[in-house]
Structure 1
Amino acid sequence: MTTRDSDTRAADSADAGGPPHRAARLARPSARPHGQWKIDGTAPLNANEEWKQVDDGLAVRERIETVYAQGGFSSIDPTDLHGRFRVWGLYTQRRPGIDGGRTASLEPHELEDAFFMLRVRIDGGQLTTEQLRVIAGISQEFGRDTADLTDRQNIQLHWIEVESMPEIWRRLEAVGLGTTEACGDVPRVILGSPVAGISATELIDPTPQIEQIQSRFIGDPTLANLPRKFKSAITGHPSQDVVHEINDVAFVAVEHPDLGIGYDLWVGGGLSTAPRLGERLGAFVSADRVSEVWHGVAQIFRDYGYRRLRNKARLKFLLSEWGAEKFRRVLQDEYLGYALPDGPAAPKPASAGDHVGIHRQKDGRFYIGVTPIVGRVSGPTLAKLADLIETHGSTRLRTTPHQKLVILDIPEDRVPSLVAGLDELGLSARPSLIRRGTIACTGIEFCKLAIVETKGHATRAVLELEERLARVEVPHRLSLHVNGCPNSCARIQTADIGLKGQLVTIDGEQVPGYQVHLGGGLASQDREEAGLGRTVRGLKVAADGIADYVERVVTRFVAERDVAADETFAQWAHRADEEALV
């Protein structure tokens, strides 16, 4: 998720759209090459880079439609299956019955089933009820009713067979949706403010910038072989509602004292096993230059990103080596051809970034943010939701980076009826603090990397904690993030309470459980500044003990917090003695 000064010949080659010529190299102090194209040349240094150079993945769709859809799962070339399919949003899912203790010891083909997770790409989270109904229909007809809202504003379906993909693509693309570059070493979905264009407090609507990047660069062959995934976020809302600190590139709305409203540029954020928050480059980007600046950062990643080792192939590692000053200089000198003006930082958010609840739009109508438990919905639920929204006079909704949904454009007199209907679907506009703040990754149910189940454990914990904490006056929102492995798809290091799935020893017995991270948070989560959570040596929780632990630590927080200072959970967790956290 995460080096050198300029070289004219290499820059010319990169700007032309292809890999820089191997002759255009610079000396480096390290004896071991990182696989940076502009320094080390383009010769692949591992098997993953080899197959990407043969065919980066965009072309595999034709084979899926003309060969594999006819021949079935057994006809799929292994390299296509485990590599190129990802570019079209397809991962093989975990075969049922394989426990978490075997995750690291089995080969991919031993872990996988003959079914796929399919990720529907939703840039900016923007959906119509027609599009939602199509996704619901695909879920019901091809995906055994599965549907999960992700924390990247996508919707994921499961149990998809390769034979169904031509028809699924036909249906999605007929309503303006798709799966192009939803996964893989490519530019992933572009996060956008869920209330773009409708919020009364918005500084700028980022929709035109998102659409320009999407139309110009998604599916662009020159960006289809990046070192690893490339995550982007753009928001014009003062709540900074796109978790910008953990994206490879992000644009956060800000008002410049001389140049007006534009964006503050961030780069190099990412979590996983080596978390690193992004950094401001101190540069102001006007709205009309967002797409070209985005393209410049993406090209830097392509040309200078580390490719030899997959676990060091995110942009955050390059930023760590270069620093923000050099990164900005290379961006300006080699890729933009002009200097970006200096700009101010955006002020600390004064409101929540998940948009849950009932809010007035700038046109007088209302948007309503709702919370399914841990992002789990279903095809039938989505179909009923589309009908419900339309009967209340709207055709628009948004997904969020917090596994939530926001329904737009509701007339004031229809709000109570809609809220009641949403409650019947399990989509609460007035959720408990713990339901509102809990997210969970896919977990062992479908994911080949997972060690522990997540959605079910988190759901049971939420329901128990709603009863146990009903009489506890928790003064601030609490975030509980549950992840099935160390890779942090559920952003465990940036939660008040983050749980990382692993096998743990409890009373001498090895059982599924979690390592605990405490006190993390991002700008939109009641934090003075973004920060990663702390760990306490030996602090682990059994998978069926989430509610017990959360009740215990939250009760201690309420009892011990500095009320006069309005201390948050994160602040308390970082100052508290370890004994208070176990």
Structure 2
Amino acid sequence: MTTPPTDVATDASALDAAATETAAAPARPERPERAERPARAERPARPGANRPNGQWKVDGTAPLNGNEEWKQVDNGLAVRGRIEEIYSKGGFASIDPTDLHGRFRVWGLYTQRKPGIDGGRTATLEPHELEDEYFMLRVRIDGGQLTTEQLRVIGQISVDFGRDTADLTDRQNVQLHWIRVEDVPEIWRRLEAVGLGTTEACGDVPRVVLGSPVAGIAADELIDPTPQIDAITSRFIGDETLANLPRKFKSAVTGHPSQDVVHEINDVAFVAVEHPELGVGYDLWVGGGLSTAPRLAERLGVWVSPDRVAEAWHGVAQIFRDYGYRRLRNKARLKFLLADWGTEKFRQVLETEYLDSPLPDGPAAPKPLAHGDHVGVHRQKDGRFYVGATPIVGRVSGPTLVKLAELVEAHGSSRLRTTPHQKLVILDIPETQVESLITGLDELGLSARPSLIRRGTIACTGIEFCKLAIVETKAFATAAVLDLERTLDGFDLPHPISLHVNGCPNSCARIQTADIGLKGQLVMNDAGEQVPGYQVHLGGGLATADREEAGLGRTVRGLKVEADGIAEYVERVVKRFLDDRDAVGDETFAEWAHRADEEVLR
């Protein structure tokens, strides 16, 4: 087994990589003395490499940029003590800049965007000019598993400290806004009292582990992945040896045949599969990710028994830590290492350097036979029902979450789940209570029988709160959904049309894997003025019941839409699809979008 390098620490992000230790207000925390930058050791020449990539096992651990340097100075996990003892008492002005722009993220805290700064200034202002003195707080929810007690606590935190804000993310978390540093210790106290937290919810660390929203209750699941997710999180979240990875590390585990955790775009993912000789285990995928350089994950071709999932996960995480590229932030995701190594070498290194024994060869999981968003009414293995409901683009509120907890309890349940599709799934509902629950959900703006366009639309945070955003997302996407529900009413859509709206190029809303993906940017209107808008991606998607395998969308040169013209464009292109699809009638939107002439897509 590999002994981890000794210089391990914490977290950061591309936007704030250049943050410097500038003068701060009184009550500056006492911190370790800043070590002089270590001299870079002589390295042997490597064929084809002009400069080292910052791979710890190849180039040594000397930091090759300012970001890596401050990450080694102080462990991001340790900043919690300063938040509790110094910053919460001294207020925003007392926060050390490097803690603010880097280490806070390990505890799920990002400064949010100052209101009134338009998207044209996103790339021209420094982080401190863009940020407000309030935080986005990300509540980590591994596997999306919640009790009504936990949901009520999150909702009440939103009411008491977050101006009623709450968003369901496509990583199964809940995000709150308008959080003051003074209130963070009390928020942590409330969350941890019910078994929740924000540890490593953000940063260059192992992020939340996605899990099947119907784990343990679906009648058709192959295996309940909850024990595997628990093994990973209990052993490795908060582990200092994994608290300084090259960049974020995203994980997913599912035992459901719908493959409901978007495994193709995670750094590491385990998908249930039945081996003809060894039984049910997991197919291991590595190296997926989107952002500005999208790449789909690849199978390593191994079968992982349930009792070895945590070991295999840890091995992949250590490969990323030890061999991942650290010199350039835009090349520091696992997908770039896999692209250079290939799956054969990756498997060899994993098995020979990080695992106790090799993994057996294994088959691929079959094509999904159902959609993985779990919207609607479904029978559980115990005879009760689960009900999947969707808000519009993940936007809820603190009062809504509190009322939802009360509604679920009134219908005989205490469990629910978040999903990787900005949805909610209510568990354990008696058959006689299903219709009453659906009525109550509708009153909260959560539809269990949504239109296909509402069901398929997600949106990132956008310029309302995000410092990276160029364009608003939630409001424009919501308006588009409501318009499209009127204009497309009566049209026979063959399947949900996925519409993903993102406020910048970073693809938090997964624009390259949507039927219609919109990437925020400034565009020119007919009057020659710069206005908020989106570049259009068409025909992307992950493997579903309607799609054989995952694929990235195409772009058409010059195809952009203004932000207030989403509904008009989507209506036009969807109607063309319905008119033009194969006479057989089973062509998907993605298939059509990839074969259609460019002019038809405009």
Give ranges in structure 1 of 5+ residues lacking alignment.
1-10
Deviation at 1:459, TM superposition (A): 0.1
Tell me how far apart the structure 2 counterparts of residues 292 and 416 of structure 1 sit (CA, whole Å): 44
Does 1:555 pair with 2:545?
A: no
Aligned to 1:472: 491
**Could you say if the C-alpha distance between residues 81 and 525 of structure 1 is closer, same or farther in structure 2, counting changes exceeding 3 Å?**
farther
Tell me how far apart the structure 2 counterparts of residues 460 and 18 of structure 1 sit (CA, whole Å): 46
**Could you say if the C-alpha distance between residues 41 and 513 of structure 1 is closer, same or farther in structure 2, counting changes exceeding 3 Å?**
same
Contact 2:8–2:242, Cα closer than 8 Å, also in 1: no
Aligned to 1:97: 116
Identity between Structure 1 and Structure 2 (%): 82
Deviations 1:39-89 (A, max 9, x none): 010000111101110113000000000000000000000000000000000
1:406 to 409, 425, 443: 425
1:157 to 166, 176, 183: 176
Deviation at 1:234, TM superposition (A): 0.2
Contact 1:15–1:335, Cα closer than 8 Å, also in 2: no
Aligned to 2:561: 541
Aligned to 1:574: 594
SS at match of 2:165: coil
Please show how residues 76-91 of structure 1 align to structure 2 within 5 Å: 76-91=95-110
Does 1:28 pair with 2:46?
A: yes
Tell me how far apart the structure 2 counterparts of residues 516 and 26 of structure 1 sit (CA, whole Å): 46
**Could you say if the C-alpha distance between residues 581 and 510 of structure 1 is closer, same or farther in structure 2, counting changes exceeding 3 Å?**
same
Deviation at 1:109, TM superposition (A): 0.2
Does 1:14 pair with 2:15?
A: no
**Could you say if the C-alpha distance between residues 379 and 183 of structure 1 is closer, same or farther in structure 2, counting changes exceeding 3 Å?**
same
Does 1:209 pair with 2:228?
A: yes
**Could you say if the C-alpha distance between residues 356 and 81 of structure 1 is closer, same or farther in structure 2, counting changes exceeding 3 Å?**
same
Please show how residues 47-196 of structure 1 align to structure 2 within 5 Å: 47-196=66-215
Contact 1:148–1:157, Cα closer than 8 Å, also in 2: yes
Deviations 1:550-571 (A, max 9, x none): 0000000000000315100000
Please show how residues 477-556 of structure 1 align to structure 2 within 5 Å: 477-507=496-526, 508-524=528-544, 526-556=546-576
Deviation at 1:17, TM superposition (A): 9.6
SS at match of 2:463: helix
Tell me how far apart the structure 1 counterparts of residues 393 and 99 of structure 2 sit (CA, whole Å): 32
Deviation at 1:16, TM superposition (A): 8.6
Contact 2:576–2:600, Cα closer than 8 Å, also in 1: yes
Deviation at 1:337, TM superposition (A): 3.4
Aligned to 1:227: 246
Matched residue type, 2:247: R
Tell me how far apart the structure 1 counterparts of residues 3 and 571 of structure 2 sit (CA, whole Å): 58
Tell me how far apart the structure 1 counterparts of residues 8 and 203 of structure 2 sit (CA, whole Å): 19
Aligned to 2:36: none
Q: TM-score, normalised by structure 1?
A: 0.97
**Could you say if the C-alpha distance between residues 93 and 15 of structure 1 is closer, same or farther in structure 2, counting changes exceeding 3 Å?**
closer
SS at match of 2:319: helix
Matched residue type, 2:308: R
Aligned to 1:382: 401
SS at match of 1:58: helix
Q: TM-score, normalised by structure 2?
A: 0.93
Tell me how far apart the structure 2 counterparts of residues 134 and 433 of structure 1 sit (CA, whole Å): 32
Tell me how far apart the structure 1 counterparts of residues 109 and 273 of structure 2 sit (CA, whole Å): 37
Deviation at 1:473, TM superposition (A): 1.3
Tell me how far apart the structure 1 counterparts of residues 448 and 583 of structure 2 sit (CA, whole Å): 28
SS at match of 1:540: strand
Tell me how far apart the structure 1 counterparts of residues 212 and 285 of structure 2 sit (CA, whole Å): 16
Matched residue type, 1:343: G
Please show how residues 174-573 of structure 1 align to structure 2 within 5 Å: 174-507=193-526, 508-524=528-544, 526-564=546-584, 566-573=586-593
Tell me how far apart the structure 1 counterparts of residues 279 and 42 of structure 2 sit (CA, whole Å): 40
Deviation at 1:477, TM superposition (A): 1.4
Deviations 1:203-251 (A, max 9, x none): 0000000001000000000000000000000000000000000000000
Tell me how far apart the structure 1 counterparts of residues 452 and 462 of structure 2 sit (CA, whole Å): 23
Contact 1:27–1:39, Cα closer than 8 Å, also in 2: no
Contact 1:516–1:536, Cα closer than 8 Å, also in 2: yes
Tell me how far apart the structure 1 counterparts of residues 75 and 521 of structure 2 sit (CA, whole Å): 33
Deviations 1:272-305 (A, max 9, x none): 0000000000010000000000000000000000
Does 1:39 pair with 2:55?
A: no
Deviations 1:456-502 (A, max 9, x none): 00000000000000021111211000000000000000000000000
Deviation at 1:509, TM superposition (A): 1.7
For the aligned residue pairs, the C-alpha RMSD in angstroms reads 1.5
Matched residue type, 1:166: P
SS at match of 1:147: strand
SS at match of 2:77: coil
Tell me how far apart the structure 1 counterparts of residues 74 and 596 of structure 2 sit (CA, whole Å): 53
Matched residue type, 1:393: G
Aligned to 1:4: none
Aligned to 1:6: none
SS at match of 2:220: coil
Give ranges in structure 2 of 5+ residues lacking alignment.
10-39
Tell me how far apart the structure 2 counterparts of residues 294 and 567 of structure 1 sit (CA, whole Å): 37
Deviation at 1:526, TM superposition (A): 2.1
**Could you say if the C-alpha distance between residues 16 and 75 of structure 1 is closer, same or farther in structure 2, counting changes exceeding 3 Å?**
closer
Contact 1:198–1:363, Cα closer than 8 Å, also in 2: yes
Tell me how far apart the structure 1 counterparts of residues 207 and 261 of structure 2 sit (CA, whole Å): 14
Tell me how far apart the structure 2 counterparts of residues 566 and 473 of structure 1 sit (CA, whole Å): 12
